[in-house]
Structure 1
Amino acid sequence: MEILSLGEKIKKLRKEKNLTLKELAGDRITAAQISHIERDKSHTSYELLEYLGEKLDVSVDYLLETKEMQSKKLTDNMILKSEIYIKSNQIEKAEQEIKEVLSICEKYNLIENYGKCNFLLATINLKKGNNNDAVTNFEKSLHFFIKNNDKESIFKCYLNIGKVYMDEKFYNGAISHFNFAEEVLRESKIEDISIYQDLYSKISYCYIKLDQPQKSLDYIAKISELNRQGNSKEEVDVLVLRANNMLNTGKYEEAREYFDKALAILEKEENKTELAVIYLTIADTYRKMGNTEKFLEYSQIAYDIKKNDEDDYMINSLCNMIRAYIELGEFEIARKYCKIGLASSIKSRNRYNEYRVLKFYADIYKAQNNYEVAIEYISKCIDIVEGLNDTKILADLYIELGELYSGSSKEKELEYYQKGVFMYKNLDII
């Protein structure tokens, strides 16, 4: 779609219909007047526009559309196309489309759509894992949404920035932005209960992580005040938050009661992922209590639910089971599940999970006093972790490798201890 002035439209339409200036003018006006109109050198009356629209088979509304109006319509459609590209995971096409939209927005001062483009760029950066760039784009879009007083979009920006900070474990920053989002909600007089519940759940979670259980409970109480009748997802969220608060204060039995209630709801809905999350959390509860058998039992349930999905929940439950079997001295069973975990990690090309499973192999052989094979597996882990650029894990592996060499090579023991200690010092651990 081209963005044309009135004169450019008339000239284009006339040529498409193979009309001369004289033929378009007819008995109404002169060819010279048409020429002036086509060069935007002359104004026209509404009656003349009706005449020209009839001759050219277009509406008067189309002829009257300004370049700004056309650019708004064009960019609206291009933005929709970009959203489709993003949802279809065609990121490069989406970026190209957004760049074109931005150039049009700058030319015609389309504030609202300029903000939308930055919001979409932020979404793309989130997909790419570029959290810092995503926050920058959200902040840019905020500037334009505030200018345009677009409350809904302002809320989304604050909410998304808060979510990024929450993912990065910057919980104070997350809470600040969630609070801004709540202010916008109240100003907008939005009454959608689920929006408030989601927001309060996130704030409560952040306070749990900041070890401020009372503030977390305050927001859980706010959720409880809302009408959640018939909305099982929100009810589950509240129960899980209450359970997590109990966990953080060491009230394991009370936590389990809340988890059981959440499970009863989820089992009715057959929500596999949320069900697995609950079982994994219960498993973690028993691990903190030192009950390895119960830890294994609930990890096994989570694994049975997710074993065909090969996602993070599957691998986490599998790793729990391997850890439990090692603690129980069931090394052959642990090895069997290590084999499954390694195959899944290689298939999904997840190097971190591959490292996790290989480390379990090392733990098995170490527990069986087969230090030579344990060393081989720790060395494989080091090769992987060096590529992951995780200094803390790498330092731990060097220290463990030094320990394994303590009975066979004092030279290598000292070498790897020194490497680990050097890294700990750089991380300010020692």
Structure 2
Amino acid sequence: MEALKIKDIGEAIRRVRKTKGLRLEDLADDGISTATISNIERGVAHAHTSKVYYLMEKLGLSMEQIPEILMGQEEELKELKFRLTSIEAMIDLEKPRDAVSQLNQIDLEDHHPYAALVQYIRGKAFRVMKKWKRAEKSFSSAIVLSKQNNDKENMEAVSFLELSLCCYLQNNMDKALDFANSGLKAFDQEGERRYVKYALLRNKIIFLERLGRVVEGLKVIQDVWDQIDEIKDMETVLTLYSTRVDLLRKTGMMDEAIHYAEEGLELARINKHYSCMFDMWTILGSVYTSKGRWERAEQCFHTALASKHLIQNGMVLTDAYVWLGILNVQQKKWDQAKESLQQAIANAEKHDDAPKLIYALRVMGDFWKEQDNKQEAIPYYERALQIAQKFHYKPAEKKLHFRLSQCYKDRDQKEFERSLLKMYETQMELKRGAGDILEEE
């Protein structure tokens, strides 16, 4: 028997056994063991032909019946796939509890072709409900089942994508980045859900940016940019645009940043993607602030904030408030700056967004330091430092130690020296033993 036929026959045997309400143990005897029956049902190629025929005879199954049985299975699989697609759509429609309720009515064995898909959808529902441990358990099960069943739907890669998102939403960027890399490694170019590759790359870039690894993030964007026309998900495309603009600003390439911001804004406007429009206006405003173009920057921020009622994810508001505060600090508009930065801090706290909260607190500290009120600045730097240390954001730690050293200089020699030492230790951790000879300019 050919391997493919053995697999088909095994599936037919399994279905007939189930229909008759028999367990593996009920069919086992001196002529065939439960292990052999299990191997036959799973289509293991080395199962002996005589054992297959022996098992079929015990079940009263003939070779002529198999095509009809398999045809019935194919129809059942189509119906189940349609049902699962509908359940997954319920999650996208913000009905995750209904999705879990429907999934609980589906009982599949681990070797079923859609066993991994069920676990993935369950995990996605729990992730939306912020039940992190249950979500992570379901995605881990989906990964195991996907490998076990030689899945062709990229369930392994898409589950790693969701795991990376779970970690990101819990402010664990290092682990999020590891999962994104695992997903890219697992991705099957010939499998289904091909959008997963670009979603993983998009997430990887975001995580690198959050970790302060700007040059690495920019390199990933440049590598994927030639394929951008292949990406069907417009949100992924626009996120790549906005992240590229932000990374270009951080590396000082302002004119190039403006070019891509304008391209991204046009795409977002045409597709009526308001969240991405908000993002792009904010980032463009940050570019003009960095260039000292105050009027243009202010117009960008006010345009972004004028659309905040259209934004579903309030997390993005933090950046706009921070940059508006920075702009006002640059212009010595202290009252407006303070109000904007307070809004930024409150918004980051509301959404439990640790990286943005660190940034907002740091800028509020800068606000007081710019007015030579270092005593007021210190608590903001200290609080930001505590959060950065909790989530291991080393680049942010280094910047905060430096600012604290500035505050303590000529005020508290012991704390000044302590901050400098901590800054040095953090820098050494960031280098991770790399030789100076390899250091870029």
TM-score (norm. length: structure 1): 0.59
Mean Cα deviation higher: 294-303 or 267-276: 267-276
Q: Deviations over 1:268-293 (max 9, x none)?
A: 65431222233124323323422233
**What is the CA distance between 1:235 and its match in structure 2?**
11
2:183 and 2:262 map into 1 onto residues whose CA distance is: 42
> Does residue 315 of structure 2 align to residue 278 of structure 1?
no
Counting only pairs closer than 5 Å after superposition, residues 352-367 of structure 1 correspond to structure 2 as: 352-367=355-370
2:420 paired with 1:404: no
Aligned length: 342
Aligned-residue sequence identity (percent) comes to 12
- Equivalent residue letter for 2:58: K
The structure with the largest alpha-carbon Rg is: 1
The answer to whether the Cα contact below 8 Å between 2:365 and 2:376 also exists between their aligned partners in 1 is yes
Say whether the 8 Å CA contact 1:259–1:282 is kept in structure 2.
yes
- The match for 1:206 among 217, 222, 227 is 222
Cα distance, 1:382 vs. partner?
2.2
SS at match of 1:41: helix
Aligned in 2, Cα 1:290/1:397: closer, same or farther, shift over 3 Å? Answer: same
Contact 1:375–1:404 (Cα < 8 Å) also in 2: yes
Aligned residue runs from structure 1 range 20-419, under 5 A? 40-41=57-58, 61-62=68-69, 75-89=112-126, 92=134, 95-96=137-138, 99=141, 106=148, 110-112=149-151, 116-129=154-167, 130-136=176-182, 139-140=185-186, 142=188, 151-153=190-192, 159=198, 162-163=201-202, 165-167=204-206, 169=208, 205-206=221-222, 219=226, 252=255, 263=265, 266-267=268-269, 270-306=272-308, 309=312, 311-419=314-422
Note if contact 2:405-2:416 (Cα within 8 Å) is conserved in structure 1: yes
Report the CA distance shift for 1:123/1:39 in structure 2 as closer, same or farther (over 3 A): same
Say if 1:251 and 1:353 are closer, same or farther in 2 by CA, change over 3 A.
closer
Q: In structure 2, what residue type is equivalent to 1:330?
A: K
Cα deviation code 1:360-382 (max 9, x no counterpart):
32222222222222223222222
Distance in 2 between the 1:371 and 1:172 partners? 32
Cα displacement (A) at 1:321: 0.2
Aligned letter for 1:121? S
Against the structure 1 CA distance between its residues 260 and 75, is the aligned structure 2 distance closer, same or farther, given a 3 Å change threshold?
Answer: same
For the residue of structure 1 that corresponds to 2:68, the secondary structure is: helix
Please report the RMSD computed on the Cα atoms of aligned residues, expressed in angstroms.
Answer: 5.3
| Counterpart-to-counterpart distance in 1, 2:295 and 2:320 | 14
d(CA) in 2 for partners of 1:387 and 1:245?
25
Question: What TM-score, normalized by structure 2, do the two folds share?
Answer: 0.58
- Aligned with 2:126: secondary structure? coil
The answer on whether the counterparts of 2:156 and 2:186 sit within 8 Å (CA) in structure 1 is yes
The residue matched to 2:332 in structure 1 has which SS? coil
In 1, are the aligned partners of 2:115 and 2:145 still within 8 Å (CA)?
no
Deviations 1:278-320 (A, max 9, x none): 3124323323422233223212221232366553431111111
The alpha carbon displacement at 1:331 in A equals 0.9
Q: Shift of residue 323 of structure 1? A: 0.4
How many angstroms apart in 2 are the aligned matches of 1:269 and 1:64? 43
The answer as to whether partners of 2:286 and 2:297 remain within 8 angstroms in 1 is yes
Q: Deviations over 1:362-420 (max 9, x none)?
A: 22222222222222322222222221222232222222222222232333323322332
